[in-house]
Amino acid sequence: MKKQQRHWYHYLWIWSIIYFSLGFVNILFAWLGLISFCLPLIFAIGGGNKLFCNRYCDRGQFLRVMGSQVGLSLRREMPEWMKGKAFRYGFMVFFFAMFFNIIYVSWLVGSEIQGIQEAVTVLWTFQLPWNWTYSVGITPWVAQFAFGLYSLMLTSEIIAIVAMLIYKPRSWCVFCPMGTLTQTICKAKYVPTAK
Amino acid sequence: MGKLSPRHAVVDSNMCVACGTCADVCPTGAMEIVSGVFAKPIEEKCVGCGMCAKECPASAIRVEVRS
Ligand code: SF4
Ligand code: SF4
Ligand code: SF4
């Protein structure tokens, strides 16, 4: 059988490791996570495609490498409800509600209604025991947004890894909020062509 | 055009999330992601090996005997 061709984007999984490591050095690097929000939308809105998911997503590549190449995945079949539209769209709404909540809390901090919370919380429950650093003199809402975004990115990464370990390597991609959103945009733009 | 293989991949476009995993693993480059909506095999290229079905996280692909 022909061996699969390797392309540069197959190595983008390295970015996942760099991103999460940088957060431990300085939480302000968490802002770089916005790339993973903007790029898929640019592809979907501008190009009417899911090229980001298909090739350039660091998380998708990370799950492929860990699940398939390293062989960490148990490859069980996902339950039907997880693949269903109700769960996929429900999770997307929940995830973006959490994202907008981060913006709202950052606004509260910026308006001095609320003090900054210097903590990274995973799965909306557990605070990571780490002495987070960020540049002194930085505007508090900028740091608050970084803490929030890093928490959300880490939480989704953990869920993605657990799904990879139990089910097929890229199972997270079935209910990934960004993947669901970009497919929805692509569906709205899609004009079937008779072949 | 060459002879078609006896088996081929069939995608359930309702289940497909257009993640592109199948296109990435297909050894003959037969899978296309149509406009970010669903995957579709190029019939002439598909040899029915089932690699795509094995990796598809949404279980949207079956390998069937060509009708
Ligand atoms: S579905 Fe999500 S994790 Fe998967 S490739 Fe797309 S953006 Fe990345
Ligand atoms: S791997 Fe499955 S869900 Fe992903 S694009 Fe291919 S058919 Fe669709
Ligand atoms: S059955 Fe094999 S050749 Fe056909 S699309 Fe799937 S991976 Fe490619």
- Percent of chain B residues past pLDDT 90, beyond the cut: 93
**Within-domain flag for B2:** no
Average the pLDDT over B5-15 and give the result: 96
Domain, as residue range, for B39: 7-65
| Residue B14 falls inside a structural domain | yes
Q: State the pLDDT confidence band at A2, using cuts at 50, 70 and 90.
A: low
Residues with CB under 6 A from ligand 2: B 11, 16-22, 33, 39, 56, 58, 60-61
**Ligand 1 atom, smallest distance to A54 CA:** 5
pLDDT in tens, A88-131: 999 999 999 999 999 999 999 999 999 998 899 999 989 998 88
The answer to whether position B1 is within a domain reads: no
How many helices (H) does chain A have, and how many strands (E)?
Answer: 9, 2
Instruction: Give which of A131, A161, A177 is closest to A59, Cα–Cα.
Output: A161
Chain B residues touching chain A at CB-CB below 8 Å:
15, 17-21, 23-25, 27-28, 33-37, 49, 55-59
Over the stretch A35-83, which tens digit does the pLDDT of each residue have?
Answer: 999 999 999 999 999 999 999 999 999 999 999 999 999 999 999 999 9
Q: Write down the domain spans for chain A.
A: 8-189
**B33 domain-assigned:** yes
Residue B9 in tokens: 């991949």
pLDDT at A3: 59
Domain membership flag for residue B50: yes
Residue A194 has what pLDDT?
Answer: 59
CA distance A91 to A38: 19
Of A83, A179, A187, the CB nearest to B37: A187
Q: Is the ipTM of this complex over 0.95?
A: no
Instruction: List all residues 6 or more positions away from B65 whose beta carbon is below 8 Å from its beta carbon.
Output: B6, B7
Lowest mean pLDDT across A41-55, A64-78, A181-195, B44-58: A181-195
Instruction: Output the pLDDT for position A121.
Output: 94
pLDDT of residue A5: 80
Query: pLDDT tens across A152-168, in order?
Result: 999 999 999 999 999 99
Query: Who has greater pLDDT, B66 or A5?
Result: B66
The model's pTM: 0.94
Contact between residue A138 and residue A144 where contact means Cβ atoms under 8 Å apart: no
Rounded-to-integer distance, Cα A3 and Cα B41, Å: 19
Distance from C-alpha of A108 to C-alpha of B65, rounded to nearest angstrom: 61
The conformation of residue A24, written as its DSSP 8-state character, comes to H
Asked if the model's pLDDT at residue A1 lies above 60, the reply is no
pLDDT at A79: 97
* Percent above pLDDT 90 for chain A: 87
Give yes or no for residue A136 having a pLDDT over 80: no
* Residues in contact with ligand 3 (CB, 6 Å cut-off): B 9, 26, 28, 30-31, 41, 46-52, 63
Distance CA A158, CA B61 (A): 27
| Whole-number Å distance between alpha carbons of A163 and A142 | 32
Assign residue B32 the CATH number of its domain: 3.30.70.20
Give the count of domains, chain B.
Answer: 1
| The predicted structure's pLDDT at residue B49 | 97
